[in-house]
Amino acid sequence: MGLFSFVKEVGAKLLGIGDAKAATPPAPTPDSLAAALKSHNLVIDGLNIVVVGDKVTVSGTAASTEIAEKTVLALGNVIGVASVDNQITVAAPAPAAVFYTVQKGDTLWKIAEAHYGKGNGAKYTEIVKANTPPVKNPDLILPGWVLRIPPLG
């Protein structure tokens, strides 16, 4: 639980994901954010989303720590969201992952070696699995994205 910060200009637009649009995307609403979670198959029992400005507060019960963390990332990596206050309770808690903000020049290989140790760049696939969604193409990560770095099992 806690407050997670994101870069509100970086991430997926709820409408027109990926391609730049001339018009400013609409501000996220609780309904549009709930629909985004549903599209990613992220289920939170008793889901409640409150949006105040660029801050999102989310609560409910997740089946696992992984689902709760992916929910925070899915919400925070939407354009227009600057922070997510995670009030989700977890039915089956597990060790929390580390959150990392992608910097200019980063690659998933480089991030994996930084978190898992020199020579473990090939473990980037664990980072991709932990971040699907929002990472759909491992060759395309953007500065400002926040990634979930799971502990190695």
CATH code 3.10.350.10 region(s) in the chain: 98-149
> How many Å apart are CA 14 and CA 27, to the nearest integer?
9
| Omega before residue 133 within 30° of 0, cis | yes
* Residue 20: predicted pLDDT: 47
Q: What is the pTM of this model?
A: 0.79
Residues linked to residue 45 through DSSP beta bridges, in sequence order: 61
Interval 104-135: pLDDT, tens:
999 999 999 999 999 999 999 999 989 876 67
Fold of 98-149: Membrane-bound Lytic Murein Transglycosylase D; Chain A (3.10.350)
